[in-house]
A and B are shown apart, each in its own frame.
Chain A
Amino acid sequence: MDVLLTVNGQQHRLDLDIRVTLLDALRERLGLTGTKKGCDQGQCGACTVLVGGRRVLSCFILAATVDGEVTTIEGLAGEGDPLHPMQQAFLDCDAFQCGYCTPGQILSAIACVQEGHAESEDEIHEYMSGNLCRCAAYPKIVEAVQRAKPLMQVQAKESD
């Protein structure tokens, strides 16, 4: 089936088996392997991407049904570019170990701030619980979200 996907601002026309998930389309067809497969059944959050700015589990959605622009981890900062404040905060806080859940955590964290669900430490713990981290970087993930939030708000104001 012919599928049109807009990913990180770029349009792609793909001929896909209708069963292909957005996750597999990104990884196996577009070479965007920053989005990770941790369960393929909507349980771990490793495959989180943004569709139209909202967090979505890309293993849980068929590529053919995607409605909106997709942002993956590769779309946040180009090679050599300054990092997104959330990426920088994860790096500085050491909010990961193996890094496998990290792309999903970062996209989820950006959405968490934008949704207004990062108002308190408790709220971040709850609203980041859909992204599992087996290395258990959780306290540092919460710290990173708190650190990035004001910087994201400044950036948002500047671009207004």
Chain B
Amino acid sequence: MAEDPKTATAGSPFGKPQVRIDGRAKVTGRALYPSDEPVGNPAYAFLLTSAIARGRIRRFDLGEARAVEGVLDILTHETAGGEAKPPEMQSGGKTTTTLESDRVWHDGQIIGVVVANSYEIAREAAFRVRVHYEKEAPSASFGSPGAEEEVREPGEHKDYRVGNADAELASAEVTVDGWYGTPTQHHNPIELFTTTCAWENGKLTIWEPSQFVYGLRGNVAGQLGIDPEDVRVVSRFVGGAFGSKGGATARTAWIAVAARRVNRPVKLVATRDQGFTIVTYRAETRHHLQLAATRDGRLTALRHEGWELTSRPSDYNVSGTETTARMYACPNILTKVNIVHADRNTPGFMRAPPDTPYMFPLECAMDELAARLGIDPIELRRINDTQTDPTNGQTFSSRHLMDCFDRGAERFGWSRRDPRPGSMSNGDWLVGLGCASAAYPSNIAATAARVSLRPDGHARVQIAAHDIGTGAYTVVAIMAADQLGLAPEQVTVEMGDSSLPPASLAAGSSHTATITHAVAKACGELRDRIARAATTSNNGPLAGRDPATLVLSAGRLTAPDGAAEPLVDAVKRLTPGALEVYAENIPKGLSPEAMETLYKGKPPMSRGQNREDVTAYAFGAQFVEVRVHSRTREIRVPRMVGAFASGRIVNPLTAHSQYMGGMIWGLGAALLEKTEIDPRHARYVNDNISEYHIPVNADVRRVEVIMIPETDRDVNPLGVKGIGEIGIVGVNAAIANAVFHATGKRIRQLPIRIEDLL
């Protein structure tokens, strides 16, 4: 790719609102999500899941279930346990097992699969299976007897020790010191967790909603001991993911095994309650956060210690201290993370995995400090803003945090806020205004793309990328159109299929940066080939020109002097058919083996906080108005404003939806969402989508999004940062701070509920 790809030339669709190219398919019901894909004569699976959280399976009584007419097979550890190995965790560590043994690690663990001629029969038979357990007393959570705590050793995540935070905290002029907690939360995408598997001539096809089709392919191949080339994963549309469809889960290999055993395609649509235990979720966390400052508001120490709950074997953790340590200028920093093991399923990525829980205590503490010092919360952040990463002295590739605060404050009307808690009201309602910072690292991964240009001026892009609702199909079309001088409507995009060139994981706000660079690189090579041919041919209007100076725009190849040739003619010179280019893009800082890693199903990712040249983050400011009823203490959120500086925006229409969705997720995380667990039995209580409260339409009123234009030449050549996560970050703190402003009560445990305010 040219170091600085030419984009946003006049007429380019880059940065202009573009209706989704897959939108018509979605509003007409013709978009095929994996469980919609037609397969011939499928059998249906129903999962058996454990009713205890810890122990062993002594035996199964399968007689009654097998007697149900239409039952084809029942997989258990006794009948099929040796046929697959457990999947690898996305984070690489150990995790719980399923049918491989009689061991039960957690409630709702997959312990069997019933396969039958119809869904109704499979379900009935599953209910007729009797399981005899050898039960042990489980540990449910933090503080439960038997829960084991250990210090997280530095590995994938680091701890920070700058100066001497403890000494400074002991002697500082002003300190704030608080304990905070965030609950277990589940992604609950509206699409259920589905898997369909079919074998043909020893080759396996898997239809499963996925954020990483190559990852799933590599994993399942490893589990079954077959060549990844013999596995194809298809996931053209994904009905919401939010992290839940990023890693391989145990179910997939068992459905593949079932399909092999019954010699028929097998279709699984796991139930909503099973979705709470067969995939990951956001771990429960605890925090001890201490700040020290001078009376004029300069931070002098930050100490952040976190505790994260996980399963018995897993050391999964998110360590959001990597962000909190970098938020503000501070000479003394100490961070530490602990892991607590209990009899729970293994947690995993969920929207802004590290930053949603870890920014909550920091941003609440900043608000508390501001109140203590009598300094406006925005001014306190301005006093401590920095262009330098406090953990290593590197500069930020770009950081426009205060621009976000200033623009957001203006739109929100922050200046009318009376800082005294409880001072503002509207009729029976107490009014609270709160704000918080948001940040998320800018990540990018290695990825490949194939682009072909037909003589009729249509392009086709093939890339095994994923549209999980983010608008990736449209982003790819815009990027290709921009680079080839076409309209997005002239670009066909094929994605979500591991038979296409490999793309990395759609997660961690990396996908837009990742795929735009791969597409731009392939398009650039295509342009070079056309330009070389056009300039070296003896006839034609561009003969003899310097090929490097030719640009593709509006369907023509044009030289700086105005000479031009229709694209159609320029392509025809090379081939009567379509001109095709395959290109791989390995971002700066990644090893040359990155593509090999990706082919094997591991995401080769450059992380914004781990770079050696700059520290790359997006920043934002969240503003929330809450109303707390003076008698009932009901909490409502009439208005939210988020302002974000996150590099160049490819498609403002879909970006707006993504930011808005993230902010509403923050509302849910702060006020509604908590998976309750029975402390005696370590079982989830509200494992359905009516008692696990996600925001509904009536919970949400005005949500305003401000996109601050930002040019960043250092983050990556196109200046694109991700936006999928940052929208949620800080919202929980902004809401807690607004609740404090309305009521004078500082709530440090989420979600904030009526009973906290009585």
Interfacial residues, chain A to chain B (CB-CB below 8 A): 17, 19-20, 24, 27-28, 31-41, 43-44, 46, 72-74, 76-77, 79, 83, 87-88, 90-92, 94, 96-103, 106, 124-126, 128-129, 131-142
Contact = CB atoms under 8 A, between A and B. Distances in A.
Contacts of A73: 27-29
Contacts of A34: 28-30
Nearest to B239: A100
Contacts of A103: 27, 29
A44 B190 contact: yes
A132 B691 CA distance: 13
Contacts of A137: 657, 660-661
Given A77-B28, A142-B697, A134 B240 contact: yes
Nearest to B121: A17
Given A38-B191, A92-B19, A135 B30 contact: no
Interface string B110-144: 00000000111100000000000000000000000
16 contacts: A35-B29, A38-B191, A87-B27, A91-B24, A96-B657, A97-B471, A98-B239, A98-B240, A99-B239, A129-B698, A136-B664, A136-B665, A136-B668, A136-B695, A139-B701, A141-B697
Nearest to A72: B29
Given A92-B19, A97-B471, A139 B703 contact: yes
Interface residues of B, number: 62
Interface centre among B28, B190, B240, B654 (most CB of A within 10 A): B190
Interface centre among A24, A129, A139, A141 (most CB of B within 10 A): A139
A103 B190 CA distance: 12
A138 B694 contact: no
Contacts of B470: 97
Interface centre among B23, B30, B36, B658 (most CB of A within 10 A): B23
Nearest to A142: B697
A135 to B, nearest CB: 5
B237 interface: yes
B736 to A, nearest CB: 20
A1 B715 CA distance: 63
A139 B190 contact: no
A88 B26 CA distance: 11
Interface centre among A79, A97, A99 (most CB of B within 10 A): A99
A110 B365 CA distance: 47
A40 B700 CA distance: 25
Interface string B649-672: 000011011101100110010000
A100 B668 CA distance: 19
Given A100-B240, A133-B190, 20 more contacts: A28-B119, A33-B33, A38-B191, A43-B690, A46-B190, A72-B29, A73-B27, A76-B28, A83-B28, A94-B657, A100-B33, A103-B29, A125-B697, A126-B697, A136-B664, A136-B665, A136-B700, A137-B661, A138-B697, A140-B660
A140 B690 CA distance: 23
Given A37-B269, A98-B189, A100-B191, A132 B694 contact: yes
B34 to A, nearest CB: 11
A132 B469 contact: no
A44 B275 CA distance: 15
Nearest to A92: B19
A93 to B, nearest CB: 9
A97 B658 contact: yes
A39 B469 CA distance: 19
A140 B33 CA distance: 23
Contact of B271 (A28, A40, A88): A40
Nearest to A103: B29
Nearest to B271: A40
A21 B334 CA distance: 57
Contacts of B28: 34, 73-74, 76-77, 79, 83, 87
Interface string B289-317: 00000000000000000000000000000
A131 B696 CA distance: 8
B416 interface: no
Nearest to B727: A136
Contact of B689 (A39, A83, A100, A129): A39
B688 A39 contact: yes
Given A40-B271, A136-B700, A83 B239 contact: no
Nearest to A18: B120
Interface of B: 19-20, 22-33, 35-36, 38, 118-121, 187-192, 237-242, 269, 271-272, 468-471, 653-654, 656-658, 660-661, 664-665, 668, 688-690, 694-698, 700-703
Given A36-B191, A136-B661, A136-B665, A44 B26 contact: no
Given A33-B36, A38-B191, A125-B701, A135 B469 contact: yes
A158 B694 CA distance: 40
A28 B119 CA distance: 10
Nearest to B702: A139
Given A40-B271, A77-B28, A138 B695 contact: yes
Contact of B192 (A17, A38, A88, A135): A38
A40 to B, nearest CB: 7
A33 B239 CA distance: 13
A84 to B, nearest CB: 9
Contacts of B697: 124-126, 128-129, 131, 133, 138, 141-142
Contact of A38 (B23, B190, B242): B190
Contacts of B242: 134
A97 B467 CA distance: 9
Contact of B26 (A28, A96, A141, A142): A96
A24 B657 contact: no
A139 B664 CA distance: 10
Contacts of B240: 97-98, 100, 134-135
A50 B468 CA distance: 27
B468 A98 contact: yes
Nearest to A144: B27
Contacts of A79: 28, 30
B688 A41 contact: yes
B657 A97 contact: yes
Nearest to A76: B28
Contact of B660 (A27, A90, A125, A139): A139
A148 B8 CA distance: 33
A77 B688 CA distance: 33
Nearest to A106: B27
A106 B27 CA distance: 8
Would you list the 6 A-B pairs with minimal beta carbon distance, nearest first? A34-B29, A100-B239, A98-B469, A99-B26, A97-B469, A73-B29
Given A37-B269, A83-B27, A101 B696 contact: no
Given A94-B656, A97-B469, A138-B700, A132 B29 contact: no
Contacts of A133: 190, 697
A38 B657 contact: no
A34 B124 CA distance: 26
Interface centre among A33, A97, A139 (most CB of B within 10 A): A97
A91 B22 CA distance: 10
A76 B24 CA distance: 12
Nearest to A74: B29
A126 B23 CA distance: 26
A100 B32 CA distance: 10
A33 B32 contact: yes
Nearest to B666: A136
Given A135-B657, A138-B697, A138-B700, A91 B119 contact: no
Contacts of A141: 697
Contacts of A126: 697-698
A81 to B, nearest CB: 9
Contacts of B654: 94, 97
A57 B41 CA distance: 27
B24 A19 contact: no
B19 A98 contact: no
Given A34-B28, A100-B191, A134-B694, A41 B272 contact: yes
Nearest to A28: B119
